[in-house]
Amino acid sequence: MNNYEKIGKAVIIIGLHLMVILIMSILGLLIAFPIKWTWNFTTPYLFNWPMITWGKAWCLFFLSNSLIRGWPKPKENA
């Protein structure tokens, strides 16, 4: 395998990783909109809390996901 083939494979692997990151980011942002709509529909009227933006909804989704699932535990070496 020559250097050009190694570089080509590295470019493909990096491109795939970037594409996965982009797709996951877009899905996360799309999930933020129903959270925003639900929050803005209920909390200002029930609790007199302020409305939130999609960015705050995305942060709320990330925070709640982290708190409920927790951080991954390191695997023990057997």
Other CB atoms within 10 A of residue 32 CB:
21
- The secondary structure element, H or E, covering residue 26 is helix 3-46
Q: What is the pLDDT of residues 23-70, one digit of tens each?
A: 988 988 888 888 888 888 988 888 888 898 888 888 888 888 777 876
Residue 19: pLDDT above 90? yes
Is 34 strand, coil or helix? Answer: helix
Q: Looking at residues 3-14, what average pLDDT do you find?
A: 86
pLDDT score recorded for residue 30: 86
Q: What is the pTM of this model?
A: 0.58
Contact 13, 26 (CB under 8 A): no
Average pLDDT over residues 2-23: 89
